[in-house]
């Protein structure tokens, strides 16, 4: 199932399923809102705008209500999250999946929002989008925010397939205090890495790996089928943490099913003094394998961010460092 591409004036409804970013980082948040408004989008802030309940934006059912209310609003075409957090999985039992089946919308976010995106896909079959949010992404300064918007905008307006993902010329994971940032972040030379050569084609499934651990094996996690292409990324973790996370997938038999893996860049990775890259740890965990693996892909916590449709057919050519979308994600 797919939502419709946008036409004419478009309203984005913003929800906060976990962290209260509009209350804690108003400068960054409002800059993201202003950026999208300047691009012609209208913004409808959800019920928890500027609300805060300690570490979260609101109680569990309040957060679910905020999301559902945006679903019910016929004037909203896109639901975008304000930011991620740590507790989006709490709201999954209270989402109105039956309404989504009848009234699909473009739903987009990343990081902890993986829980919501994958649950909706598992329960309804709706293609969801692993992509930018208000604060983290559109609150960034040029040029990175412009590159992120270019990918997002091309998707919501409807792309033609086959669609080749172009590697951004530069990337960054430089940290600058969001309340004080007044300059563009440093640019690093970009390079996607072929870890294992080969070509495969299959359904794209995945998201933030640490978040997936919070609902893996439940009814809200899509069944990973033979031939799927697994996309995973993480941020601000260390070597021993991601070894554990990768090992969960191995023990669950995921690596025996998927036909290929796309590993996103890891923002502020701590290698625990090993000198090892995340993809080297992944390869050790998997063991002997012939499946194609492409690493350092730009759909993750770093900037810029490419938008990825969960549930669509993609072609992975790890040898030539190419990812090609083979199925239109919107009607």
Residues with catalytic annotation? 111, 233, 301
Given a contact cutoff of 8 angstroms between Cβ atoms, the answer to whether 192 and 265 are in contact is no
Q: Between β-strands 163-164 and 322-325, what pairing exists: parallel, antiparallel or unpaired?
A: antiparallel
Given a contact cutoff of 8 angstroms between Cβ atoms, the answer to whether 56 and 18 are in contact is yes
DSSP3 helix / strand / coil % (the chain, rounded to 5):
30, 25, 45
Which residues make beta-bridge pairs with 204?
A: 229
DSSP for residue 110:
-
Please count the CA atoms within 13 angstroms of the CA of 51 that sit on its side-chain side.
17
Q: Give just the sign of the alpha carbon dihedral 227, 311, 248, 278.
A: positive
Cα–Cα distance, 19 to 60 (Å, whole number): 12
**What DSSP string runs through 40-83?**
T-EEEE-TTTT--BTTBSS-HHHHHHHHHHHHH-TT--EEEES-
First to last CA, the chain: 9
């Amino acid at each position: 199932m797919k939502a419709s591409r946008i036409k004419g004036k478009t309203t984005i409804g913003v929800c906060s399923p976990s962290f209260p970013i509009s209350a804690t980082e108003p400068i960054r948040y409002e800059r993201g809102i202003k950026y999208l408004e300047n691009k012609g989008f209208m913004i409808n802030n959800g019920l928890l705008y500027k609300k805060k309940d300690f570490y979260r934006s609101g109680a569990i059912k309040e957060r679910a209500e905020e999301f559902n209310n945006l679903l019910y609003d016929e004037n909203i075409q896109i639901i975008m999250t304000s930011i991620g957090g740590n507790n989006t999985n709490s709201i999954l039992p209270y989402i109105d999946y039956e309404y989504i089946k009848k009234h699909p919308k473009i739903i987009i976010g990343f990081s902890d929002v993986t829980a919501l995106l994958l649950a909706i896909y598992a329960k309804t079959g709706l293609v969801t989008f692993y992509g930018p949010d208000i604060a983290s992404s559109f609150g960034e300064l040029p040029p990175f925010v412009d590159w992120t918007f270019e990918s997002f905008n091309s998707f919501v307006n409807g792309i033609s397939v086959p669609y080749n993902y172009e590697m951004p010329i530069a990337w960054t994971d430089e940290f600058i205090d969001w309340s004080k940032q007044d300059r563009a972040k440093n640019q690093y030379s970009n390079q996607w890495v072929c870890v294992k050569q080969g070509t495969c084609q299959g359904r794209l499934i995945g998201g933030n790996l640490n978040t997936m651990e919070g609902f893996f094996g439940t009814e809200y996690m899509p069944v990973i089928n033979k031939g799927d292409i697994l996309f995973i990324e993480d941020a601000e973790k260390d070597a021993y943490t991601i070894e554990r996370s990768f090992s969960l997938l191995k023990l669950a038999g995921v690596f025996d099913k998927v036909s290929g893996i796309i590993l996103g860049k890891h923002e502020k990775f701590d290698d625990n003094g090993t000198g090892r890259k995340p993809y080297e740890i992944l390869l050790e965990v998997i063991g002997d394998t012939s499946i194609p693996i492409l690493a350092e892909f730009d759909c993750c916590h770093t900037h810029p961010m490419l938008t990825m449709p969960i549930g669509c057919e993609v072609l992975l050519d790890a040898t030539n460092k190419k990812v090609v979308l083979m199925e239109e994600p919107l009607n």
